[in-house]
Amino acid sequence: MKTIITFIIVFGVLVIVHEFGHFFFAKRSGILVREFAIGMGPKIVAHQAKDGTTYTLRLLPIGGYVRMAGMGEEETELSPGMPLSVELNEEGVVTKINTSKKVQLTNSIPMELVRHDLEDELTISGFVNGDESEAMTYPVLHEATIIEADGTEVRIAPRDVQFQSAKLWQRMLTNFAGPMNNFILAIVLFIILAFMRGGVSVTNTNQLGEIQPNGVAEKAGLKKEDKVVSINGEKITDWNELATVISENPEKELDFIIDRKGEEFSISVTPRAEKSGKQSVGKLDIAVPMKTGLTDKIFGGVTQAFDSSLTIFKALGSLLTGFSLNKLGGPVMMFQMSSQAASEGITTIIAFMAMLSMNLGIMNLLPIPALDGGKLVLNIFEGVRGKPLSQEKEGILTFVGFGLLMVLMVLVTWNDIQRFFF
């Protein structure tokens, strides 16, 4: 249960923060956000706010999404012959269009749809009360709403508030805002981690940090701020080299050359053995030296976020030079990592979330249709060309990109299942 809750919270926060980026800058650009959903699947509750956005909570507690006007796959499907009802104001203008069998409007007019234009003309025509002798045409209010089949009420999408009606730079910023929010979240989480841990680890030094009481290092005579010059004649320049030598030599006596305040001397130390998976590793019961100043923690969190991005770029580079499904992970791997993080405590969960947030931001900027990076490529193409790609061609590219991503996701998920359960 702890793993499930951790997985839902981590994945949910990452996606909601990502989608809020799109939502915020779409609003600032005059683009109508028809729905902001928390969760996926069937609607549980919905509230239409005065800003024109319908906020919904959905059944499956993973992720969320925003529906922006003009994004074709998010529009309500209306077709000739479709039964619906309309609600009029005192001036005879349509304020609501009901397509749902779940919702009944008390003062509505039943209609069989003949034609509609909810983008430019803002009109709707149909046969009223079963009278097919003449189609009645009604003007539609610019801020009218439409009740969809599942009962969700959202605003219609006139052309002036659609995504494509915004300026190019506004659309680019709206597309980039999701990944940008993930980068910001990662930086904030890494800074929080630095404060929770009391400082930032310094790994580019051979100096020792805190010495655990009654541990191997203390019993051998090692002290905080000692510098390890060499081990068994092998020069030590940073913490990673020190940690590697220690971990590779459990229960083996090692000859340390120590520099303590400018004086060098030799100490024999035998790392204790500790189980790590199926093998034993050496431990000295020493901590990495830390910088504990306020600016050190803030700058260290930013640096750690940057380092994590470099790690992700290196992983992407290794995919290009030698592709393997084992280098990728899907929801199953995320669940496994959530389980491990949940068992290790809140700091590990935050570190896991920070790394995933950076990962999500970078992956979404890949120039693949259906991802934010693919949309930005189309924006740049439009800027160079002077006009956008036709909606039909853009739709085809998005469909192909989405299809390829789904195929890859299925393959990665199946590979994860085989790795973890068979």
What is the reported pTM?
Answer: 0.80
Radius of gyration of the chain (CA): 29
What is the model's pLDDT at position 190? 93
Asked if 234 is an active-site residue, the reply is no
What are the pLDDT digits (tens) for 279-298? Answer: 889 999 998 888 888 898 99
| pLDDT (0 to 100) of residue 55 | 94
Give me the residues paired with residue 111 across strands: 84, 128
Largest alpha-carbon pair distance within the chain? 106
Angle at which helix 346-364 crosses helix 2-28, to 10 degrees, equals 40
Distances (CA, A) of 40 to 36, 61, 87, 188, 346: 11, 7, 29, 27, 26
Residue-level pLDDT at 419: 67
| pLDDT for res 325 | 66
Cα dihedral value 350, 355, 357, 358, nearest 10: 140
pLDDT at 327: 65
| CA distances from residue 327 to 284, 315, 416, 419 in whole angstroms, order as listed | 32, 8, 10, 12
User: What's residue 140's pLDDT?
Assistant: 96
Residues of the chain with pLDDT under 50: none
In a 10 Å sphere around its CB, with 0-12 CB exposed, 13-18 middle and 19+ buried, how is residue 130 labelled? exposed
Task: Give the domains, in start order, of the chain with CATH numbers.
Answer: 76-161 (no CATH), 203-288 (2.30.42.10), 294-421 (no CATH)
Residue-level pLDDT at 195: 92
Confidence at residue 20, expressed as pLDDT on a 0 to 100 scale: 95
Q: Which of 19, 75, 148, 394 is catalytic?
A: 19
Q: What is the pLDDT of residues 63-84, one digit of tens each?
A: 789 999 987 655 677 899 999 9
Report pLDDT for 14.
Answer: 92
In terms of C-beta distances under 8 Å and separation of at least 24 residues, what long-range contacts does 41-47 make, across chains too? Answer: 42/150, 43/150, 43/151, 43/152, 46/151, 46/152, 46/153
Helix spans in 231-293 (H): 239-247
Q: Which residues pair with 167 in a beta bridge?
A: none
User: How many other C-beta atoms are found inside a 10 Å radius of the C-beta of residue 253?
Assistant: 10
